[in-house]
Chains A and B, each alone.
Chain A
Amino acid sequence: MSEPLRVLLVEDEALILMQLEMLLEDAGHVIVGTAMTAEDGVTLVHETRPELVFVDLRLGDGSSGLDVARAVREIGGVTAVFITANSRQLSEDLEGAAAVISKPFSASVMEDTLAFLEEGLRRPPPVLAVPHGMILAPAYRASWAPAAP
C-alpha cells in the first residue's frame, strides 16, 4: 500500500464514528482528528490539514456538514466526501465535495470506498469501479469515472 491517507472524520453518532475509525485503521490510514459538530470540524480542517474529510450532513448541535464542506473548499487541497442518510438534500455540485456515500453503508462498501478514494488521491484516475453506494460529484465524474467503453 502507498503512503496512508490522513483522514478527518466529522460525524455526530459516536457508534458510526467508531466504526469508521475502525475501518480506516484496518485499511491502514491515519485519523488526524474526529469532530461531532460543524464548528469543531471546521477548526480541525484548519488545524490538521487532512487529505480526506468524511462529513455527515447532519451534525451535533443542529449544525450542518455543508459548513465543513465549504471550509474544505475554501482552503483547497483537501478532499471532502459526504456520508449521509439524506443525500437528496445535497446540491448537484455537492458543495465542492468529491462524492457522497449513502447511509446505511455496508462494511464492504466502505472498504471499497476507501480503496477507491486512495486510488483517486494517490494514483488518479482510479482503476477500481465506483463503489455502488457512492455518487461522484460532476466535477470528479469526468476524471475519476470516465464513461464505460
Chain B
Amino acid sequence: MEQDEAWRLTDQLHASTGKGDPFAAAVRGTRMAMIITDPRQADNPIVYVNNAFLAMSGYGRDEIMGRNCRFLQGPDTDRAAVRQIREAVAECRDIAIDLLNYRKDGTSFWNALYLSPVANEAGEVLYFFASQLDVTDRVDAHLKTQQEKEHFEREVARRTHDLREALAAKTMLVHEVDHRVKNNLQMISSLLVLQTRTITDPAARASMDAMLKRVEALGTVHRRLYQSNNVERFDVTEFARDLATDLVRGSGRDDIRLHFDFEAVEVPVAKAPPIALMMNELVTNALKHAFPDGRAGRLSILVAPAEKYFTIKITDDGVGMPVPVEISGKRSFGKRLIETLARQLNASISWQSANPGTAVHVSLPRETAVSSESQ
C-alpha cells in the first residue's frame, strides 16, 4: 500500500516536469500511453494511468482507476490474443502483442501492447507495467498489403485455371483432329484395298496398289507425328525405318535384306508429307526394278545430317537401272511425282551407278521457307 500511495502522489503532482521524482515525472509526461495494475488486488485493477493513455482511450482518469483493463476490449478483439495476455499475467511473464482495442466513443484502434511484471527483491510481483502504442496505421497498412496479396493470388490462381482450361481444350482439339485425320487415312486405305480386290487387270491393279502405298506412307507420317512429344518436329529416320520395313514386307520379298545407316534428323512437320512420299517412290522404285526374276539383294538406306543439308541415300545392289532412259525418257507418274516433290522441298536428286546396282542421292535443306513461316 505504501508503494501504491507513492504512485497516487505522483498523479497529484501537477508540477512541471523535473519536479519530484524524475522517473515518475517522465512516465507522467511521456506521449507513450502507460498504465500500472496491481495483481495483488482482486481482478488486477489499474492503479496508475498517465495522461497519454487517457488521451488515447478517451476515458477520464476517474472512469478507469480501479478497473480491470478488459474494458478496452470489444466485439472484434481477437479472443486468442486476449487469452495470450491472460496467460502471460497468470505466469508473471512479459508479452508484446498487437490487439484491437476500443476507445470510450466505441471506435477501435490497434494497440501495440507491451506488458511486463515488476517484481521486488524477493521476486514477488508487485505490479504489471503496460505501455500502449496506437499502431492502427501500421496494422491497417499491413492488412491492406495482406488483402492485396490475397487478391492478387486469387487473381493469379483464377487466370492460371483459365489458361489450364484453354490449354486442355486446345490439346483435346489437337487430339480430336489427329484422331480424325488418322481414321480418315485408314478409311481411304480401306477403300483402295477393297476396290483393288475387284480389279483383275494387272496394270490397273498395280496402279491401285501403288496408290495404296502412297496413302499408307502418308498414314505412317501421321501415325509417327504425335508419338514423340514434340508436335513441331518430325524424325525422318524413325519414319524411314517404318516405311522401308512396310514396303519390303508388302512386296512379299523375303529375299531382300534391309540395311539402315541412320543419324537422327528432325525436320519441321510441314515437310514430313512430301519427304515421306518421295522416299516411298524411291524405295518402291528400287524394289520394283532392282531385283527382277527373284534376284536376292540388299537395300540400304542412309540418312545423315550435314550443316545446312541432310542426305537421304537409297542404294541397292540389284541389276542397275538404265539411268539415262529412266530420267530423260518417257516419264512415269512416279518419276513426275519425285520431281514435283523435289521442287517443293528444294531438294536435289541424283541417280548413280553403284556397281552393282543403283544409288539415289537426295540432298535436302534442313530448314525451308516452311519452317521460317511457321515461326
Contact = CB atoms under 8 A, between A and B. Distances in A.
B135 interface: no
For the complex of A and B, 10 pairs with smallest distance between CB atoms: A104-B219, A85-B182, A19-B190, A108-B250, A104-B186, A106-B216, A15-B190, A108-B249, A104-B185, A85-B179
A89 B242 CA distance: 22
Given A16-B186, A86-B179, A132-B245, 16 more contacts: A13-B183, A13-B190, A15-B187, A85-B179, A88-B175, A89-B175, A103-B223, A104-B182, A104-B219, A104-B220, A104-B223, A105-B219, A106-B189, A106-B220, A111-B249, A132-B246
Nearest to B223: A102
Contacts of A22: 193-194, 197
A98 B261 CA distance: 32
B193 A85 contact: no
Given A58-B179, A85-B178, A108-B249, A18 B219 contact: no
A105 B226 contact: no
Contacts, number: 76
Given A104-B182, A132-B242, A86 B175 contact: yes
B222 interface: yes
Contact of A106 (B187, B194, B197, B250): B250
Interface in B76-104: none
A126 interface: no
B182 A103 contact: yes
B191 interface: yes
B182 A107 contact: no
A19 B193 contact: yes
Nearest to B218: A104
B187 A16 contact: yes
B212 interface: yes
Contacts of A107: 189, 193, 212, 216, 250
Interface in B141-193: 175, 178-179, 182-183, 185-187, 189-191, 193
Is the interface on chain A under 10, 10 to 19, 20 to 34, or 35 or more residues? 20 to 34
Nearest to B242: A132
Interface in B290-314: none
Given A13-B186, A16-B187, A104 B216 contact: yes
A15 B246 contact: no
B347 to A, nearest CB: 25
Contacts of A132: 241-242, 245-246
Contact of A109 (B183, B193, B212, B246): B246
Interface residues of B, number: 27
Nearest to B186: A104
Question: Which secondary structure dominates chain B's binding surface?
Answer: helix
A86 B186 contact: no
28 contacts: A13-B183, A15-B194, A16-B183, A16-B190, A18-B190, A18-B194, A19-B194, A58-B179, A85-B178, A85-B179, A85-B182, A85-B183, A85-B186, A86-B179, A88-B175, A103-B183, A103-B186, A103-B223, A104-B216, A104-B222, A105-B186, A106-B219, A106-B246, A106-B250, A107-B212, A108-B250, A132-B241, A133-B223
A112 interface: yes
Contacts of B189: 19, 104, 106-107
Contact of A88 (B226, B242, B245): B226
Contacts of B250: 106-108
A108 B197 CA distance: 15
A87 to B, nearest CB: 9
Contacts of A13: 183, 186-187, 190
Contacts of B191: 15
Contacts of B226: 88
A102 B216 CA distance: 13
Contacts of B194: 15, 18-19, 22
B219 A112 contact: no
Contacts of A86: 175, 178-179
Interface string B190-206: 11011001000000000
Interface string A131-147: 01100000000000000
